[in-house]
Structure 1
Amino acid sequence: MKKEQIVSRNPKVMNGALVFTGTRVPVEILIQHLTAGDSLNKFLNDFPTVSQEQAVAYLEMTLEVADARVA
């Protein structure tokens, strides 16, 4: 999945927050759910416009960036 299929940023959508492409769901909401102890499935049920593929790809992309910064 290409980055532009996973996340996007547009000043006209949610005041420029990073959102899952094709939705108005900020990626920050996924992180908040996970840090609160919610499962990925709960997040996906709460925000059905986000696909599982997008959510997993975002987490993988974030992990790659974190790994690169530590290395």
Structure 2
Amino acid sequence: MNGQVINIDPNILGGTPVFFGTRVPIKNLFDYLETGESIDVFLDDFDGVHRDQVVRLLEMSQKLVETSANILNENFA
């Protein structure tokens, strides 16, 4: 694996963000987590996705939320 996590390509699922090297939408991970499923269950169901991709995606999401805190706070004020 080359270290990339997300791929957005108009020729793959119409440009839906997917895990790099797969056709698995990023949204699927969040859907699993939202319903209480574990990362292990997700990985069992989507064997093309690697654990390090999931971990890096969650880290990227955390950074995005942290750096967007000011913007998010303005929208709720």
Q: Same fold (TM over 0.5)?
A: yes
- State, as a whole percentage, how many aligned pairs show the same letter: 35
Q: How far 1:15 moved relative to its partner?
A: 0.9
Task: Give the TM-score normalised by structure 2.
Answer: 0.85
Q: What letter matches 1:26 in structure 2?
A: P
Structure 1 stretches of at least 4 aligned residues deviating more than 2 Å after TM superposition = none
Structure 1 position 52 matched with structure 2 position 51: yes
Q: Structure 2: any 5+ residue segments left out of the alignment?
A: 71-77
1:11 aligns with 2:10: yes
The higher relative CO (CA closer than 8 Å, separation ≥ 6) is in 1
Provide structure 1 residue ranges, at least 5 long, that are not aligned to the other structure: none
CA RMSD in angstroms comes to 1.4
The normalised TM-score by structure 1 is 0.92
Query: Bigger radius of gyration, 1 or 2?
Result: 2
